[in-house]
Amino acid sequence: MVYHRRRPHVTPVEKPLPFPCSPLQIHSSLNLSRNGLTSERSCVYMVFRIRVLVLEKNPEPGRSTVPATSGGTKMRIRSMLLLAAGATTLHAASAMAQADSNNALVLEEIVVTATKRATNLQDTPIAIRAFTGDDLVKSGVSDVNGLARIAPDLNVTNDTIFTKISVRGVSSQDVSEASDPALTIGIDGEYVNRPVALNASFFDLERIEVLRGPQGTLYGRNATAGAINIIAAKPQLGKTAGFLTVGYGNFDAKRAEGAVNVPLGDTVAVRVAGMHTDHKGYRKHGAVGRGEDQNVDAARLAIAWEPTENIRTYLAGEYVNVDQLPPSQFGILVAQNGVLTNAAYSAGVIDAIPSTTAFENNGIPANLTFSGINTRNFPLGDLGNFNSEQFALRGRIEVDFDLGTLAYLGGYRDNETNSALPLNGYLPATFTFRNNKLNSETQSHELRLSNTLDNGLFYQLGGFYFHEKVDLSRGLYLELPRAFLNYFYRPDIVSKSKAAFGQVTVPVAGPELTVTGGLRYTDDAKSATFYNYGPRFGRGEGTTPPAFGSAGATILRPRSSSDQVTGNIGIDWKPADDSLVYGKLSTGYKSGGFDSVGAYEPEELIAYEVGTKNRFNGGRLQFNASAFYYDYKDQQIQVFVDNNVGARTLNAGKSRVWGVETDTSVLLTENDELSFTVNYLDAKVLNFATSLIGVNGTPINDADPVTPGIQQFNLKGNRPPQAPKWTLSAGYSHTFDLGDGSNVVASAFSRYKAAHYLSVVNWAGMRQKGYMMTDLSVEYNSADGNYTVQAYVRNLEDKQPLAFANFNAAAGSLIYNSIYGPPRTFGVQGTYRF
């Protein structure tokens, strides 16, 4: 939610914020008692009033209006698209306008906690976008995939049930249980290591912050791409409030989300929230029906207790259950020696594509085309299934004392996933499923001390511990006529990470010129036991392993350990109240790992960035820009090796990434706003030459059957996956005042992504050409702010871009797989607030 308002003249004195929190709960961070207020409780109220003027109720997700100013002046509710301020919205994100003595309007000042303390977004030297709970509700965003629709520079794709996130060309394409993401994700301080856990975590949120660029000091390991902070709406003392949103759309889509906040005395409050979404399948697959349906149920119970002004506690329990038919994976067998023919499987359909040469170069089959084949709607032998059941427990305790604020943040998550993923399509029916049964338990703990001294120096230091245990059972069964062969794979993996960190911000010429520096030491360790069985007779489901010691079993015990020092140093200059110029050097580190063949090293990234954030024309024009250059060493790249090994993660010698990003937002009139972004990205692999090595550790001699001996491939000059050169977006909204205080807001938001590849091998079959998507909405807001009704269309052009494309190995056979994005959706939804 974004408000147009006159900037308040009260300047708060900052204290450190040791945890992500709501604006109502930053009384320890924006302590106004030094400005004449007499109590912390009144300070809470004043901070809230200063930020949003005079909301009668807390800004619940979906809340869009305020009835009047403190002076009784009627406030007009508007909707807008605020890309430049970090609140990009594809719908009409509600706003309000107030006329001062000169009838001036200004953009809302957004408070974020990206640096672990509350700061104005325009004063934060990080390329960042922030989205309110209202933005997410109106956009229909319930997971990280939906977030990519409203954050154009966030690239998200799915490998069946596994999520891949890329920022500025930096990503992790290996989604196996032994790998780690390149972007850190936290929910109220809980470190979430598996993106699959984010299939349905976006409900009853206060805001989401998306940080671009390495965050190796405050966020630590696996933050080379950036970080996503998810902040849930918190219980509020002394207030009874809530909201309910319901909606219906095509594909029989239904959505319900709501929350209730109840105080229990003066020091305790409870908040209960829930969400349900479901829709029918997006694609037709012959006789088996439609695939890609989904049913999600989620609930959260949170309690806040503040026994004194100096002690604050928060505890939340969360449950999420996801049932769906996984994204339909097109598959086609690539024959190594001519064409496979078996009319019993699919009469009149090619069962395999011939390849006169097994590998042309870089592991890519030669003569591979898809002429006359529908890769979006295709026959399936079975739709598969996916179920994920998660329970999470998060807590925070913070205590103020003479040395500052000491805060503990802890989280525990148990995730149990069962899935059977189709590998067919135009494949022979022998290739049917990859069966997975995964259980992961994670816990994270952080202890942080922070304070602002009388001279303005701010410091924070602390320690971090993370532990993850993953148990996985995976099987591939092959039906007739392949003799019921069953291949089984079971890895058990344990990961541990310890870290110590510190960061200080020093004013060198008053608050207008500051220098920030920080360091973090991280020690990572990972171990596993891999059980490989097969081939065996008997179909099996891949969830019950053969007896230990069975014939054909192979046991591997890989290990990986590393330690790293990361840090940052930067200078911030405010030449004027509404301008910030910054420059910084920061480093990122992604831990190493292993697969069933061998280990790979950690990757390291050094980032140089300069930027500026500005407001002009009395706050009606906002322009932000940043330029960056990445020196990337040992980048972890996943490449396909051969039919037996499949894909492996290897370290590239060196990569280079640089780019420029601009955000602009303009208040054209009281009722009109225009906003747009322009991002340019140049990302290339500078050196990546390696031999293809097989399971037994010896060089593969059949990478090119024409040329004997060890074969090498070099990806020099290739672009990394999910890295379009140009990303553009534009939004416009207009408010029609109805005269009684209510209004109707019409808005449009379009984003364009240039051509890009889904794999670092840059093969034409893995290239998505440039495309544009447009979202439209019309929204009615009642005069009292309690009701909102919205009609929307998302993906007006009905684009279904390539979301995944790669080669897989199954039982010695080569398979090309691809997945496409969802089609156009439309519907209506309404919100009631109390």
Separation in Å, CA 33 to CA 39, 48, 450: 6, 14, 19
| Average pLDDT of the residues in 364-382 | 59
| Average pLDDT of the residues in 806-821 | 71
pLDDT tens profile 153-196: 888 887 767 788 899 999 887 777 778 888 888 999 898 887 66
Cβ–Cβ under 8 Å, residues 533 and 546 = yes
pLDDT tens profile 119-142: 999 999 999 999 988 888 888 888
- What is the band of 397 on the pLDDT scale with cuts at 50, 70, 90? very high
| Average pLDDT of the residues in 786-815 | 84
Distance CA 342, CA 482 (A): 13
- What is the band of 366 on the pLDDT scale with cuts at 50, 70, 90? very low
Nearest to 503, CA basis, from 464, 463, 461, 462: 461
- The pLDDT value recorded for residue 13 is 37
10 Å CB burial of residue 306 (0-12, 13-18, 19+) is buried
In a domain? residue 79:
no
* Residue 411, pLDDT above cutoff 70: yes
- What is the band of 738 on the pLDDT scale with cuts at 50, 70, 90? very high
Distance CA 673, CA 733 (A): 6
Nearby residues of 722 by Cβ (< 8 Å), 6 or more positions away: 155, 157, 164, 166, 169, 171, 756, 758
Nearest to 336, CA basis, from 371, 373, 363: 363
Same domain, 185 and 306: no
Domains held by the chain: number: 2
| Average pLDDT of the residues in 752-774 | 90
Nearest to 677, CA basis, from 119, 127, 78: 127
pLDDT tens profile 491-522: 788 999 999 999 999 999 888 999 999 999 99
Same domain, 296 and 329: yes
Largest CA distance in the chain: 86
Residue 321, beta-bridge partner list: 297, 389
- The pLDDT value recorded for residue 254 is 96
Distance CA 760, CA 341 (A): 32
Least confident of 215-219, 382-386, 426-430: 426-430
Distance CA 377, CA 292 (A): 12
pLDDT tens profile 684-697: 988 876 654 333 33
- Positive or negative torsion for Cα 148, 149, 151, 155: positive
Same domain, 337 and 195: no
Q: Tell me which residue range forms the domain holding 197.
A: 111-231
In a domain? residue 74:
no
Q: Reading across the β-sheet that carries 170-171, which strands appear in turn?
A: 154-159, 162-167, 170-171
Same domain, 481 and 571: yes
Distance CA 174, CA 170 (A): 13
* Residue 151, pLDDT above cutoff 80: yes
Same domain, 266 and 402: yes
Same domain, 399 and 468: yes
Q: Which of 183, 201, 231 is the last residue of a domain?
A: 231
Same domain, 219 and 305: no
Residue carrying structure tokens 């949003």: 52
The CATH number of residue 571's host domain is 2.40.170.20
- The pLDDT value recorded for residue 8 is 35
Same domain, 236 and 163: no
pLDDT tens profile 312-350: 999 999 999 999 887 777 776 665 433 333 332 233 333
pLDDT tens profile 13-45: 333 443 334 333 333 333 333 233 333 333 333
The CATH number of residue 160's host domain is 2.170.130.10
In a domain? residue 168:
yes
Nearest to 439, CA basis, from 396, 480, 483, 490: 490
* Residue 279, pLDDT above cutoff 60: yes
* Residue 428, pLDDT above cutoff 70: no
Same domain, 238 and 123: no
- Whole-number average pLDDT of the chain: 76
Same domain, 213 and 249: no
Q: Reading across the β-sheet that carries 183-187, which strands appear in turn?
A: 127-132, 205-212, 226-232, 183-187, 190-192
In a domain? residue 72:
no
Output DSSP code: residue 731: E
Same domain, 216 and 362: no
* Residue 769, pLDDT above cutoff 80: yes
In a domain? residue 165:
yes
In a domain? residue 294:
yes
Q: Which of 231, 246, 272 is the last residue of a domain?
A: 231
Same domain, 157 and 236: no
In a domain? residue 93:
no
- What is the band of 240 on the pLDDT scale with cuts at 50, 70, 90? very high
* Residue 5, pLDDT above cutoff 70: no
Q: Reading across the β-sheet that carries 352-353, which strands appear in turn?
A: 352-353, 330-334, 813-820, 802-810
